A and B are shown apart, each in its own frame.
Chain A
Amino acid sequence: MRYLLAALLVALFVLAWQGIASLDSVDDLTLASPVETLEALRDDRDLLADNAWVTLVEVLLGLAIAVAGGVLLAIAMHLVRPLRDAAYPLLVASQAIPIVVLAPIFVLAFDYGIGPKLAIVALICFFPITVNLLDGLRSAPPELLKLMRSMGASRLRTLRSVELPASLPFLFSGLKVAATVSVIGAVFGEWAGAEEGLGRLVLLGNNQLQTPRVYAGIVILTLMAVWLFCVVALAERVAIPWNRKEETA
């Protein structure tokens, strides 16, 4: 039922899109209709697939770096109080820097290759992961921490048996946000300077007035983000079965 309603809304959206695109007053160069977009998806499929693959690799590698770095940073900040106090403002500041400005600098620093894309994806993705995980690590009830202390648990034992499992729902919330914004990060990275990738293709298509191709690229980028979100949501169901059981109870 839930999925049916979602599908219905998407169908409505596509219909409205088609309707608006067919209006005389709408310039073909501004808005490609769903049908034109589908045609572009079919005609340019090799070009789109090659470039989508490049972007997907950037997104996945960047995300992997963000998860590894973000999780390690959160655990370190949780265990070492002074580090938490010292690093938190920097953490927030790292997100205040406009990526659009940062991207060209990264390209200067890392050259045209995959480096700057990974750096940008990782930079915007680690933040929701670290901040959510930090909150999650502190979510274990104080009585439980007291009980662990009375049972003679070491700091690492408490982290492993109590704090980390308790933080998993928070970690997955962070991962969902990270998964969705990761694609945006890759596009920004490609706009600052790239030889391939969907972001670059869309930018190029825009300059060359290939509007249907631009829309086809946007559709693929969107689907990529949605797919990543679903993968994370699925992993969540597998990783924290106790959470789901309590919901249905």
Chain B
Amino acid sequence: MQTEAEAPAEEPLSLTGVTRRFGAVTALDAVELDVRAGEILAIVGPSGCGKSTLLELVAGLQEPDAGAVRVAGSTAAAERRALCAYMPQRDLLLPWRDALGNAALALECQGVPRRAARCRAAPLFERFGLAEFERARPAALSGGMRQRVAFLRTLLPGRPVLLLDEPFGALDAITRLDMQEWLADALAADPRTVLLVTHDVEEAVFLADRVTLLSPRPGRVVDEFAVPLPRPRTVTDRELLELKARALEALRP
């Protein structure tokens, strides 16, 4: 087994002095960020702090106006796109494909033939609590199930970095709680480097190893703290609630 010292110095994901402007509006201002391999980093900020822009920058869908975005040492957008699996806010399932076909879509985009892609997606349906819904169209699925299909679609190509943009924002409070626990389990079983964007402080401290707080526009890193709590966690954990209070304080000075 490799020791820490022998591991390559390259961070799987880093942002240095990243600035992004849209006309006169500065969405992100000199953002510095490092994510270690296998780490779950949550980025929390109010609406309009440029969280989604940040994810699209990492995903290789946008380029920064200043600074550098590196994924596994590479700044090239095409390279970033190939290393990151991006999960947007809305599930964006295709209404004309069944659940299995939707889960297989990312694989098909990489050139895996349709049937083979479906075969690779099928065994995971059981584990994702989607058994027997393989042939169901998205319209027939609940919000939580749709989100799980979308997450399966994100995981299947096996890319090392996951970029999750408010994955549970559209769900009701109870379903969201279930899904957060479910996501924690899924990531424990299949560890990846994760950048999770959310406006929900509780979600951040529950899921992440580390939390970075962004200020409202222009987005700037205002605070950062580790969440050194053992897993599995519970949302009612006292230390978790203390961290939540600290984060809220920093966000509302």
A161 and B94 within 8 A (CB): yes
- B92/A150 in contact, CB under 8 A: no
The reply on B64 being an interface residue by CB < 8 A is no
A157 within 8 A of B: yes
Rounded to whole Å, the gap between the CB of A162 and the closest CB of chain B is 7
Partner of B90, one of A143, A148, A152: A143
Q: Is A245 an interface residue (CB 8 A)?
A: yes
Which A220-246 residues have a C-beta within 8 angstroms of B?
240, 242-243, 245-246
Tally A residues with Cβ within 8 Å of B: 22
Chain A stretch 136-165: residues in CB contact (< 8 A) with chain B = 141, 143-144, 146-154, 157, 161-162, 165
Given contacts A245-B139, A246-B139, contact A152 B82 (CB under 8 A): yes
B192 to chain A, nearest CB (A): 15
List, in ascending order, chain A residues with CB within 8 A of B94's CB: 144, 161-162, 165
- Hey, what's the 0/1 contact readout for B83-123 against A, CB within 8 Å counting as 1? 01110111010111000000001101110000000000000
Closest to A164 in B: B96
B12 at the binding interface (Cβ < 8 Å): no
CB-based contact B96/A150 at 8 Å: no
Point out the residues of chain A lying under 8 angstroms from B157, CB to CB: 151
Residue B59, interface by CB 8 Å:
yes
CB distance from B70 to the nearest CB of A (A): 17
Does A249 reach chain B (CB closer than 8 Å)? Answer: yes
Contact A153 B109, CB 8 Å, known A147-B86, A249-B139: yes
Contact assessment for B96 and A240 in the assembled complex, using a CB-CB cutoff below 8 Å: yes
Distance A150 CA – B110 CA, assembled complex (angstroms) = 11
For B, the interface residue count at a CB cutoff of 8 angstroms equals 25
- Check B61 for interface membership: any CB of A closer than 8 A: yes
Q: Which residue of A lies closest to B157 (CB)?
A: A151
Contact partner of B61 (CB less than 8 A), chosen from A144, A149, A165, is A149
Report chain A residues within 8 Å CB of B139: 242, 245-246, 249
| A150 in contact with B95 given A157-B108, A157-B109, A161-B108 (CB within 8 Å) | no
What are the residues of chain B within 8 A of A146 when measuring CB–CB? Answer: 56, 61, 88
Asked if residues A152 and B109 are in contact (CB atoms below 8 Å), the reply is yes
Contact between A242 and B88 (Cβ–Cβ < 8 Å)? no
How far apart sit A147 and B82, CA to CA, in the bound complex (Å)?
A: 13
Find chain A residues with CB under 8 A from B89 CB. 143
Which residues 47-90 of B sit at the A interface, judged by CB distance below 8 A? 56, 59-61, 81-82, 84-86, 88-90
Contact bitstring B24-63, A, C-beta under 8 A = 1, else 0: 0000000000000000000000000000000010011100
A-B pairs with CB below 8 Å: how many?
Answer: 57
CA distance A245 to B95 in the complex (A): 10
Nearest CB on B from A144, distance (A): 5
Q: Establish whether residues A152 and B110, one from each chain, have CB atoms under 8 Å apart when the complex forms.
A: yes
Q: How far is the CB of B166 from chain A (nearest CB, A)?
A: 13
Q: How far is the CA of A161 from the CA of B82 in the complex (A)?
A: 20
| Residue numbers in B under 8 Å from A144 (CB-CB) | 92, 94
Residues on the A chain within 8 Å of B105, using CB: 151, 161
Evaluate contact between A147 and B96: CB separation under 8 angstroms: no
Chain A residues with CB under 8 A of B59 = 150
Distance from B246 Cβ to chain A, minimum over Cβ atoms (Å): 33
**Do residues A150 and B137 form an inter-chain contact, with CB atoms below 8 A?**
no
Q: Is the beta-carbon distance between B92 and A143 smaller than 8 angstroms?
A: yes
Q: Which residues of B contact A150 (CB under 8 A)?
A: 59-61, 81, 84-86
Closest to B89 in A: A143
Q: Give Cα A152–Cα B84 distance, bound, in whole angstroms.
A: 10
Q: What string of 1s and 0s marks CB contacts (under 8 Å) between B118-146 and chain A?
A: 00000000000000000001011000000
Please, how many angstroms separate the alpha-carbon atoms of A3 and B68 in the complex?
65
Residues of chain A having any CB pair with chain B under 8 Å? 141, 143-144, 146-154, 157, 161-162, 165, 240, 242-243, 245-246, 249
Listed A/B pairs (8) with beta-carbon separation below 8 Å: A141-B92, A147-B92, A150-B59, A151-B106, A151-B109, A162-B94, A240-B96, A242-B139
8 smallest A-B Cβ distances: which pairs? A153-B109, A151-B109, A150-B86, A242-B95, A151-B106, A165-B96, A242-B96, A144-B92
